[in-house]
Amino acid sequence: MVMPTQAAADKPLGLLAQCHEDVHCVFGRDPAAYSVLEIILTYSGVHAVLMHRISHRLWKADWKLLAKVLSAFAKWMTGVDIHPGATIGRRLFIDHALGVVIGETAEIGNDVTLYHGVTLGGTTWNKEKRHPTLGNNVLVGSGAKILGPITLGNNVRVGANSVVVKDVPHCCTVVGIPGRIIQSKGTKIQNKHGIDLDHHLIPDPVGKAISCLLERIDELEAKQAQLQKTTTAEECQTCDAESICTSQKDSPVKVAARL
């Protein structure tokens, strides 16, 4: 079989071809999907992406009011708010869909996965590039916020509920508020299909630090207990407390005299 060239792979697809990819990419990222008909009828994330494909074409053709009306209808139907001006690459999958917001100047690469509650938002009211750019194979966990005209490189993973406000290089994992890079996987993609869905396997630096502290405390307590036993044993060997106590005991005569 002749493999397509990179130029052919990057060639813009027609609307039907894009929709076909949007539907079939679900099988690789959701084990609960069983048939194409089920996806077409029940997956609101797919519905949102398909309607955006149409509204985006209307937007670029300068039918902006009609594009916004279709976008508003899609938001009402799916719970996903995608501005018709947003640029979305091939095979975007929005899992569970509810509460996803994608701004007007946002740009999304190929094979991106977004979970529910994700926001690709802006940080200014000026009419300029104000929304983020996501590279290929990016995965954004539920509730994460990516704000401003920043860029996330290829193969980036964003942990759930993180707030990312700075650029992120390729092949990194970002967590926290504000988001910080906690892991860099290098240029090698672990999944042979190029899509890494293991967003639950994110390192926990705070938990790791606490675990190290607890281990250190246990070690110090053990050493202290051992030192205390050694000191007590040495004192007992050299102590004349018994003879001193015996010599200092009051005789019956002294006791009677005090009485």
Asked whether residue 34 is assigned to any structural domain, the reply reads yes
Asked if residue 233 and residue 157 are part of one domain, the reply reads no
pLDDT at res. 222: 84
> How many domains, the chain?
2
**pLDDT of 188:** 47
Q: Specify whether 127 is located in the same domain as 58.
A: yes
Looking at the structure, tell me whether residues 228 and 137 fall in a common domain.
Answer: no
1 belongs to a structural domain: no
Instruction: Please measure the distance between the N-terminal and C-terminal CA atoms of the chain and give it in whole angstroms.
Output: 116
Token pair belonging to 18: 């894009």
Domain stop point among 171, 186, 202: 202
My answer on whether 116 and 217 are in the same domain is: no
203 — pLDDT class (breaks 50, 70, 90) = low
Q: Are residues 21 and 103 in the same domain?
A: yes
**Strand-by-strand arrangement of the 119-121 sheet:** 81-82, 101-102, 119-121, 145-147, 163-164
97: nearest Cα among 83, 80, 77, 111: 80
Same domain, yes or no: 235 and 123: no
DSSP string over 60-75? HTT-HHHHHHHHHHHH
Per-residue pLDDT reduced to its tens digit, 27-79: 888 888 889 998 899 999 999 999 999 999 999 999 999 999 999 999 999 99
Domain encompassing residue 49: 6-202
Say whether pLDDT at 229 is over 90: no
pLDDT at 5: 38
Q: Where does the pLDDT of residue 197 fall: very low under 50, low under 70, confident under 90, or very high at 90 and above? A: low
Q: Are residues 198 and 221 in the same domain?
A: no
**How many other CB atoms are there within 10 angstroms of residue 209's CB atom?**
10
Q: Domain end: 165, 184, 202, which one?
A: 202
pTM of the model: 0.67
| Percentage of the chain modeled with pLDDT above 90 | 35
What are the tens digits of pLDDT across the range 90-144? 999 998 888 899 999 999 999 999 999 999 998 888 888 999 999 999 999 999 9
Segment holding 14, helix H or strand E: none
